[in-house]
Structure 1
Amino acid sequence: MHIGRNISRLRSFRGIKQLDVAKRLKMTQQNYSLIENAEEVDDNLLSRIAAIIDFPVEMIKDLDNSKVQSIFNSGSITDSIFYQNNPVDKIIELYERLLKEKDETITILQKDKK
């Protein structure tokens, strides 16, 4: 597993430039580039990068290169990334959370009405 390459792919998927990540990490773009070329990345640094590119550390570590397709079309990037996690479960989880928040909001509004 090449952690640096996984970081690079996920960063590109988000449309974030190396320079932007480097600035947030308070380092030069050249030093950050070395991280993306490294097979292993320190867990603390990986956590900071994961927060910046908004992907869980586990996803960065477990990204399976055989399940990643990168298609470059006329200067724009279209990435299809298939995760080992079931996306339907994530959608259901989000939907249930939104329903709960809606119910809580209705309850608060009904109390305020009385």
Structure 2
Amino acid sequence: MTTSAKSNHIGRKISRIRELKDMKQEALALAMGTNQQAISIIENSDTIDYEKLKEVARALGVSIEAIENFSDEAVFNIISNTVNNHDSASSNSIFQYQPTFNPLDKVIELYERLVQVEKDKNVFMEKLLKEKKE
């Protein structure tokens, strides 16, 4: 048996948004100027008054409408579409990448710097050996 009634448990929506933002109840409580127990009560409430909802939305950095219309399915759809689009875009961009410099020139430059460092190190070591012998 399936139910087509959509859950409108506002506290659960607040909890999910908070979790998606990787925020603990204590952090939300601090942002709202209250304590963790008050946040727990809000998240277990089926409904909350408009002023409290406005305060929660401000602390979470989302709109009231985002809380009221939140659904896990929408989040999963957004993530799925974003990941799929990003994957295809990034794989295409690998083949289209054209550096503004010659990579071989950079390798030669790094090699020359490495050789110079080794030469400087040898000069320094020879100087130390001469000082030690004197």
Write the letter of the residue equivalent to 1:58.
E
Structure 2: unaligned runs, 5 residues or longer: 1-7, 83-134
CA distance in 2, matches of 1:64, 1:32: 20
Offset of residue 49 of structure 1: 0.9
SS at match of 1:39: coil
| Identity over aligned pairs, percent | 31
Structure 1: unaligned runs, 5 residues or longer: 69-79, 88-114
Runs of 4+ in 1 over 2 A off after TM superposition: 80-83
Corresponding position of 2:15: 8
Corresponding position of 1:41: 48
User: Rg larger in 1 or in 2?
Assistant: 2
List per-residue Cα deviations over 1:14-42 (Å, max 9, x = no partner). 11111011122222201210000101011
Note the aligned Cα RMSD (angstroms). 2.0
CA distance in 1, matches of 2:76, 2:65: 15
Equivalent residue runs for 1:1-114 within 5 Å: 1-65=8-72, 67=73, 80-82=75-77
CA distance in 2, matches of 1:34, 1:49: 13
Over 3 Å counting, the alpha-carbon distance change for 1:22 and 1:47 in structure 2 is: same
CA distance in 1, matches of 2:77, 2:9: 17
Q: Which has the higher helix share?
A: 2
